[in-house]
Amino acid sequence: MPLQRSDGSKDRYIVRSEDARLLADFIDEATTDPELELVETIGPVGVPHTAVFLLPHEKARALQQRYGESNQVIIERDRPLSLFDSDG
């Protein structure tokens, strides 16, 4: 799914990988960037499979281009889940 908006505002993004080491490396690198704010990690302690970040849309787009080509690290906007469709 393409990332949208380029107005400089921040939104929540999910970063996930099946390779725990790649995700850990991404999280370690992200903690040095003041534009990225780690909100939470999901998964076993020490080996999460998903991280949630608050970051600017342009930064998310750049990270998706940098990491997304290999499909080993997936970056996508966090969207609320609902049990039922809005139609029913």
Domain that holds residue 19: 12-77
Looking at residue 6, its pLDDT comes to 47
Element (H, E) at 65: helix 57-68
CATH number at residue 50: 3.30.70
Looking at residue 49, its pLDDT comes to 92
Compute the chain's Rg from CA coordinates: 13
Residues 3-58: tens digit of each pLDDT: 444 456 899 999 999 888 889 989 999 989 999 999 999 998 888 899 999 999 99
Whether the pLDDT of residue 88 is over 70: the answer is no
Whether the pLDDT of residue 87 is over 80: the answer is no
87 in any annotated domain: no
> Taking the model in full, what pTM does it have?
0.77
Number of domains in the chain: 1
83 in any annotated domain: no
2 in any annotated domain: no
Burial 18-32 (b: 16+ CB within 10 A, else e): eeeeebbebbeebee
What gap in Å lies between CA 19 and CA 81, rounded to an integer?
Answer: 25
50 in any annotated domain: yes
Token reading at 84: 């039922």
82 in any annotated domain: no
* Nearest of 36, 66, 67, 41 to residue 52 by alpha carbon: 41
86 in any annotated domain: no
52 in any annotated domain: yes
